[in-house]
Amino acid sequence: MKKLLILTLLILSGCTSNESLKGRDISEGLPNDLEVHQDFESHADYAIPTNLGQLEDEVSDIVYVKMIENKEIGGWVEDDYNTTVTQVEVLDVFKGNTAVGQNLLISESYYLYEGKLETVEGYVPMESNEEYLLFLVDSDTESDLKLIQSMGFGKYHFDKQATEQPIQSFSTLGEVKEYGLTHGESADLYNTIHEQILNKYNK
C-alpha cells in the first residue's frame, strides 16, 4: 500500500510561464491540441483504495459536479510544481456539508512543464461542462480548496474508464481525454471501482 501524500500546494499567481497558453482563454479548459510531455514523469506516494467502500470512508465529501472553469493552471516552480485550481458547481451531494448549487475550488494534479502537459500518476484533467463524481478531502494549507482523494482514483466520469497505456503514449490532451485515468498497473482496479460507482451513483 502506498503512503498517503500530503500535497504542498503552491498557489502562486504569475509565477509560472505557460507559453503554450498565451492568447488562449484558460477558463474554457485546456486546448485539445496541447502536447503531452514525453520526457518527464511525475510520481507521488499516495493511498490507492482497494474498493469503493474504502474510498467512501476516507473522504469528507462525495459530490457530483460540473466543471465550470480553470482558475489557475499549474506550472513548474523552483524544482517543484504547483497544481491546477479548477472551479466546479455541485449538482448533487452524497456525503458532507456541501450544498447543491455551491461552487468549489478543486486542486487537480496536473501542470504545464516546458509548455506541455504533465500529470501526476496518470491523472486526466477535468473538461469544461463535463460532469464528474468526486471524492474530496480538505486541504491542510488552503481553507477554500478541496483535494481529490487518491489522485485520479478520486475522480470518475461515468462514461470514461482507465487505460493501461501510460500518458506518454499519447501525443495530445485530446487523445488523453478519452479516458478517466492513464494508470497501467492499476487500471483494472480503477475500472472495477468505476463499475461499482455506476451501480450505486448513476441513477
Q: How many domains does the chain have?
A: 1
pLDDT digits (tens, 9 = 90+) for 169-180: 999 999 999 999
Spatial separation of the C-alpha atoms in residues 13 and 186, rounded to whole Å: 34
In a domain, 8, yes or no: no
Residue 10 lies in a domain: no
Among 26-35, 106-115, 192-201, which stretch is predicted with the lowest mean pLDDT? 26-35
Contacts of 74 (CB under 8 A, 6+ apart): 16, 81, 82, 83, 84, 85, 108, 110, 111, 112
Tens digit of each residue's pLDDT (9 = 90 or more) over 44-72: 567 889 999 999 999 999 999 999 999 99
Residue 13: pLDDT over 90: no
- The answer to whether position 98 is within a domain reads yes
Query: Per-residue pLDDT tens for 136-193?
Result: 999 888 888 999 999 899 999 999 999 999 888 999 999 999 999 998 789 999 999 9
Is residue 44 in a domain?
yes
Q: Which residue has 516552480 as its cell numbers?
A: 77
Asked if residue 159 is part of any domain, the answer here is: yes
Residue 69 host element (H or E): strand 61-72
- The reported pLDDT for the residue numbered 26 is 62
Examine residue 7 and state whether it is found in any structural domain, yes or no.
no
Q: Mean pLDDT for the chain?
A: 84
Segment 96-147, tens digit of pLDDT: 999 999 999 999 999 998 889 998 888 999 999 999 999 999 988 888 899 9
Residue 62 and residue 81: Cα distance in Å, rounded? 27
State the distance between the two ends of the chain, measured CA to CA, in whole angstroms: 32
Please report whether residue 11 resides in a domain: no
Query: For residue 113, what pLDDT is reported?
Result: 87
Write out the residue range of the structural domain in which residue 161 sits. Answer: 19-201
In the prediction, which pLDDT does 6 show? 34
Does residue 186 fall inside a structural domain?
Answer: yes
